[in-house]
Amino acid sequence: MTTTMRAIDIKGGTGPATSLFVNNLPKPEPAAGEALVKIEAFGLNRMDLLQREGMYPVPPQAPSTLGVEFSGIVERLGDGDCLDFKVGDEVFGLAYGGAYAEYISCSVQTLLHKPAELSWIEAAGIPETWFTAAQAMYLVGQFEPGKSILWHAGASAVSISGIQLSKADNASNIYVTASSQEKIDFCVNKLGATAGYNYKTQDWAAELKKATNGRGVDVIIDFIGASYFQSNLDAAALDGHIVNLAFLGGTKLPAGVDISLFLRKRLRYEGSSLRSRDTSYQKRLRDILLDHMPKFQDGSFKVYVEKVFPFEKIADAHLLMESNQTKGKIICTVGEE
């Protein structure tokens, strides 16, 4: 049995997409409660770009290799409780890192059995985005059936997942913002959102207030940060929850921001992350997804894939993600040389 594997490495430790290359690295060993998985495919996420450039706070337990979501076959199990997993099982899951490789070792707490109805590519595109959407909606945003919800960056992979979860779990209305009419049409016509607003050409907060007769939205999932801060407060309903997951619009608030709405509307604005959470927290999200697995199996939930690259074309995959022109997931397949 070999002790090394092919994995994506970064020349100099950090750098641009062109610094990514295939290297031979030590093959991981499964610790207690872990499964060693031979990877068939892995998904890209925006955090990978930041980590590649040395701008992401990597958890201490994470290996240096990029990648947090994958699909593959269990090759070996560590000691201890490995739930119902066994060697040979087809699985997909979430890890703290190390998915840009031929093999990964990760906790069984964040693994799921891959349904036969899902391809390796589809399964690899589920964990990070669907876990994140579930976390933002349920554990942080406290979404309940009958509430309305707004997903910013509507055509992003997380929001694509979240819109489908919102529809399945009976949101009263599902709103999105996006950068083009094409993306809005995709969210409304393909995913089932109620309405969408082009943030480049519309005052989306004002339009939302009109659409809701001044009431606003119960749950807002935000990736933008500072440049949407005031508008989120304006668009939120009484007792609304605003969940912040990223800062694509900056971290410094402009002068003149009116925070009186926090009191007047009894708002909660809460930031959250997933990768820094312990495995018991992540297992709660895994279990939410497990409850929804029949919808993946019957086709109600769809994994939208923008493009698939071979393992060796990882630099091209990163460049595509950097272009901000995608709808859905970018996936890499891991084949033999």
Domain locations in the chain?
Answer: 4-126+275-333, 130-271
Whether the predicted pLDDT of 310 surpasses 90: yes
Lowest-confidence segment of 96-105, 111-120, 121-130, 274-283 by average pLDDT: 274-283
Residue 199 corresponds to which amino acid? Y
Lowest-confidence segment of 55-69, 185-199, 260-274 by average pLDDT: 55-69
CB 177 within 8 A of CB 208: no
pLDDT averaged over every residue in the chain: 95
Whether the predicted pLDDT of 327 surpasses 90: no
State residue 336's pLDDT score: 55
Residue 58: burial class (beta carbons within 10 Å; 0-12, 13-18, 19+):
middle
State residue 335's pLDDT score: 72
Whether the predicted pLDDT of 1 surpasses 70: no
Instruction: Say whether 142 sits in a helix, a strand or coil.
Output: coil
Whether the predicted pLDDT of 212 surpasses 60: yes
Non-local (6+) Cβ contacts of 155 within 8 A are 176, 178, 183, 186, 187, 327, 328
Whether the predicted pLDDT of 331 surpasses 90: yes
Element (H, E) at 309: strand 305-310
Whether the predicted pLDDT of 187 surpasses 70: yes
Q: What is the pTM of this model?
A: 0.92
CB 74 within 8 A of CB 89: yes
The tens digit of pLDDT for each residue in 16-75 reads 999 999 999 999 999 999 999 999 999 999 999 999 999 988 888 899 999 999 999 999
The tens digit of pLDDT for each residue in 141-171 reads 999 999 999 999 999 989 999 999 999 999 9
CB 174 within 8 A of CB 208: no
Task: Give the pLDDT band (50/70/90) at residue 325.
Answer: confident
CA–CA dist 83, 97 (Å, integer):
21
Average pLDDT of the segment spanning 77-81: 94
Domain 4-126+275-333 matches domain 130-271 at the CATH topology level: no
State residue 308's pLDDT score: 97
Task: Give the pLDDT band (50/70/90) at residue 328.
Answer: confident
* CATH class of the domain comprising 4-126+275-333: alpha beta
- According to DSSP, the β-strands at 195-198 and 111-113 are unpaired
Domain 130-271, CATH homologous superfamily name and number? NAD(P)-binding Rossmann-like Domain (3.40.50.720)
State residue 301's pLDDT score: 97
Whether the predicted pLDDT of 337 surpasses 50: no
Which among 190, 136, 184 is positioned nearest to 158, based on CA atoms? Answer: 136
CA distances from residue 126 to 260, 282, 290, 330 in whole angstroms, order as listed: 39, 14, 12, 11
The fraction of the chain above a pLDDT of 70, given in percent, is 99
State residue 6's pLDDT score: 97
Average pLDDT of the segment spanning 71-97: 96
Average pLDDT of the segment spanning 278-302: 95
